[in-house]
Amino acid sequence: MKICCTVNGRPVEREIDAEARLLDVLREGLHLTGTKEGCGEGECGACTVLLDGAAVNSCLVLAAQADGKEIVTIEGLAGPGDDLHPIQAAFVEAGGVQCGFCTPGFIMSTVALLTANPDPTDEEIRTALEGNLCRCTGYEKILDAVRLAADRMRERG
């Protein structure tokens, strides 16, 4: 079957197997390897991408469900000349990264959160990130990164 969608601002047409997961099409078909497979069961959040602006676990989404939709991966956030997106920069500056495996998923969940709610409370941040797991940071630096990103994005307007 064929799907047509937009990935990181570019139109994409692909022949896919009807059972293909969005994660596999992104990683293997489009070579967008920033989206990670951690558990394959929607528990860890490492595969989080935006599907029409909503954070989703791409390991649980059939690629066919992306037909006609807009997908943004971690690779689609950087600006011209590979300038980091303010959320990416905040994660680096706040030390919200360690091994980096979970970082793309946390960042994509943060994008969805701050797009919907530019001034979240700590409880709202925790709720938005509850589907993402990290084994290295202890989470406090990740929360600091989200707070910093929110402040910076509000300042930018």
Tell me: the pLDDT tens digits for 28-85? 999 999 999 999 999 999 999 999 999 999 999 999 999 999 999 999 998 778 789 9
- pLDDT of residue 156 exceeding 90, the answer is no
Q: Which fold has domain 2-75?
A: Ubiquitin-like (UB roll) (3.10.20)
What confidence score (pLDDT) does residue 80 get? Answer: 79
Taking residues 108-133, what's their average pLDDT? Answer: 97
pLDDT band, residue 108 (cuts 50/70/90): very high
Whether pLDDT at 120 is above 80: yes
Check residue 82 and give its pLDDT: 75
pLDDT computed for residue 113 by the predictor: 98
Q: What tokens were used for 156?
A: 């930018």
3-class DSSP state of 123: helix
CA distances from residue 115 to 11, 55, 120 in whole angstroms, order as listed: 23, 11, 10
What residue spans in the chain does CATH classification 3.10.20.30 cover?
Answer: 2-75
Distance of CA 157 to the CA centre of its chain: 22
Q: Do 38 and 96 form a contact (C-beta atoms < 8 A)?
A: no
Residue 37, class by beta-carbon neighbours within 10 Å (0-12 exposed, 13-18 middle, 19+ buried)? middle
Q: Where in the chain is the domain with CATH 1.10.150.120?
A: 80-156
CATH superfamily membership of 80-156: [2Fe-2S]-binding domain (1.10.150.120)
Identify the pLDDT of residue 85: 94
pLDDT in the model for residue 41 = 96
CB-neighbour burial class of residue 150 (10 A; exposed 0-12, middle 13-18, buried 19+): buried
Asked if 35 contacts 51 with a C-beta cutoff of 8 angstroms, the reply is no
Helical ranges in the chain per DSSP H? 22-24, 86-94, 103-116, 122-129, 140-156
Q: Would you say residue 138 has pLDDT above 90? A: no
Residue 137 pLDDT > 90, yes or no?
no
